[in-house]
Amino acid sequence: MTSKLDQLKQYTTVVADTGDLDAISRLKPVDATTNPSLLLKAAALPRYAHLLDEAVSGCQGDLGLACDRFGVAVGQEILKVIPGRISTEVDARLSFDTQATLRRAERIIGLYDQAGIGRERVLIKIASTWEGIRAAEQLEKAGIQCNLTLLFSFAQAVACADAGVFLISPFVGRIYDWYKKAEGRDFVGAEDPGVQSVARIYQYYKANGYQTVVMGASFRNLGQIEQLAGCDRLTISPDLLQQLSDDQGELPRLLNAGSGEARQSLDESSFRWALNEDAMATEKLAEGIRLFARDQEKLEALLAARA
């Protein structure tokens, strides 16, 4: 009997949600994603110490540049052991500034270019705010493909598809967390609100012919992953990847393209109203940006101490 991880790979492209090279080498995902929190964890690993020193060298105190250089350096190391793409994130503190997001994204892709890494192997991660989606729309037209993250609502997914972004990362686990706390009960299987959110988006995209890739993210348990077997991609932590690798049970495809809703289009005001009406998405988007911003600041402090 093959493992659940091997069975999952038959339906879905598996992505490692980590900067841990040892885990990536062991579990052999196609792609990998990083974010400020994962880079902060990577910075604590001895094997990356020299990359921290190289990142601050010659930056003249520009800690934002040092963070970008470190993120790209970690990305380069990961690309040596995966066949696919690395996602590298723009500073979350720029989430409400389209032009600043554009400049930072162009700098990150420029650093990869200087390292000899082709654009076809990099995705720029941007928060799914209105401003972030507009920046991604321009980047896509310039040939820089994007991963729109911190996505919690159907409205965000609709706007991302209209903008022609390459990939979205709806956050299953954080949606689950919110509803579990709000309703004071657990959710399992297909009733999980995070699972339902991704399934709805996936079916909407397929029904309307959108090419945007749906990559479920932020999983809390194997049940959530199993319910989304068949999604375009799933980005999974090393712990859960290992559990899937160790489990020899059957893993059928449960997510299929079915009847989706009619195509929608949102202007700025209707997008903001729809997001405002979704208390979970409003709270989790704001919280996610804040948490990534704090970890970005911690990474900057770590780099400053080495300057």
Q: Report the interhelical angle of 172-183 vs 279-304 (nearest 10°).
A: 120
Which one-letter DSSP state was computed for residue 171? B
What is the spatial distance between Cα 45 and Cα 90, in angstroms, rounded to a whole number?
Answer: 22
Q: Provide the annotated active-site residues.
A: 125
User: C-alpha distances in angstroms, 154 versus 114, 121, 160, 193, 196?
Assistant: 37, 28, 10, 12, 11
Contacts of 272 (CB under 8 A, 6+ apart): 130
Residue count (the chain): 307
Bridge partners for 213 per DSSP: 167
What is the spatial distance between Cα 260 and Cα 205, in angstroms, rounded to a whole number?
Answer: 8
User: C-alpha distances in angstroms, 30 versus 59, 77, 305?
Assistant: 33, 14, 35
Query: What long-range pairs does 142-147 form, CB within 8 A, spacing at least 24?
Result: 143/119, 144/105, 144/106, 144/109, 144/119, 145/119, 146/105, 147/33, 147/87, 147/123, 147/215
What is the spatial distance between Cα 233 and Cα 216, in angstroms, rounded to a whole number?
Answer: 7
